[in-house]
Amino acid sequence: MSQTQTNSAKYIKSSPWVLKSKNTNSNPQIRLFCLPFAGKGASIYHNWYQDLPPEIAVHPIQLPGRENRLNEPLLTELPALIATLTEAIYPYLDRPFAFFGHSMGALISFELTRQIRRKYGLEPIHLFISGRLAPQRRRLRPPLHNLPEEAFIDKLRSFNGTPEAVLQNLDLMNLLIPILRADLGMCEKYTYQPEAPFNCPISCFGGLEDREAELEDLEGWKEHTSSSFHLRMLPGNHFFLLDTKQLVLSAVMADLRAHLCLHR
């Protein structure tokens, strides 16, 4: 970290990409960046700060085309997203940082970590992966993002992540379907390229009933760190994160507490 960047951290301009939680103090010990799953925005992490100490600043990442960025064009190619997000997040890397991502957010976190390492020589102190098979593994199934609308909605229903009331609401689905198609397409077009493993620890979370990222798929993440790897399986399906938030945050706090203790 350059001295110029460290000093400029006091004058970080607000970014539409990097949001701040209500309790974000001006001098946190760690920044925790949280990336959403397909079809969702930063609001899924809006209250995480309530269960973490003020030493950890929670920064939900807001992608274009949703919530307060609804009028912006959706991104459909992962390399373009990573390139832009890397630039946006760099001013916030003025102190130790960690990434948390669920499903699509896990893939973004992984490639964002790689790009930050390539471009700036920095790594997070911890990478938290949730509900996503290891990137070197592929789910062998036809693409979903370009299915006809009726078949697309049937697939969404089978994932049990979208309430039936939403699936039956034409206005809501007209907003949601383009976002989901863009996000799913970005994941389905992803091509993994081997690189050296990270030096930081990786903690991985999975749902015991999740058929999108099963135990052996999650275990593949240990290939991406030369440090420690910790896998926790929690109750629930692919969207276990929504029902086990307290368990996930307790684990995140336990893994980050070691760093807080070592650097007091």
Percent residues over pLDDT 70 in the chain: 92
CATH number at residue 215: 3.40.50.1820
Would you state the pLDDT for residue 1? Answer: 45
Give yes or no for residue 7 having a pLDDT over 50. Answer: no
- Known catalytic residue at 103: yes
Mean pLDDT within 101-126: 98
Percent residues over pLDDT 90 in the chain: 72
What is the total count of domains within the chain? 1
Mean pLDDT within 78-85: 97
Q: Does residue 205 lie within any of the structural domains? A: yes
Q: Does residue 23 lie within any of the structural domains? A: yes
Q: Does residue 219 lie within any of the structural domains? A: yes
Q: Does residue 168 lie within any of the structural domains? A: no
Backbone torsion region of residue 65, taken as left when φ is above 0, otherwise alpha when ψ lies between -120 and 50, otherwise beta: left
Contact between residue 76 and residue 32 where contact means Cβ atoms under 8 Å apart: no
Would you state the pLDDT for residue 89? Answer: 97
Contact between residue 97 and residue 30 where contact means Cβ atoms under 8 Å apart: yes
Q: Does residue 154 lie within any of the structural domains? A: no
- Chain mean pLDDT for the chain: 90
- pLDDT tens-digit readout, 51-64: 999 899 999 999 99
- Pick the catalytic residue from 21, 103, 109, 203: 103
Q: Does residue 180 lie within any of the structural domains? A: no
Q: Does residue 49 lie within any of the structural domains? A: yes
Residue 73: give the domain boundaries: 3-140+191-262
Q: Does residue 208 lie within any of the structural domains? A: yes
Name residues whose C-beta falls within 8 Å of residue 159's C-beta, 6 or more positions apart in sequence: 212, 237, 238, 239
Contact between residue 113 and residue 127 where contact means Cβ atoms under 8 Å apart: yes
Query: What is the pTM for the complete model shown?
Result: 0.91
- pLDDT tens-digit readout, 127-171: 999 999 999 988 767 778 878 888 888 888 877 777 888 888 888
User: Which range scores top for mean pLDDT: 9-23, 35-49, 152-166?
Assistant: 35-49
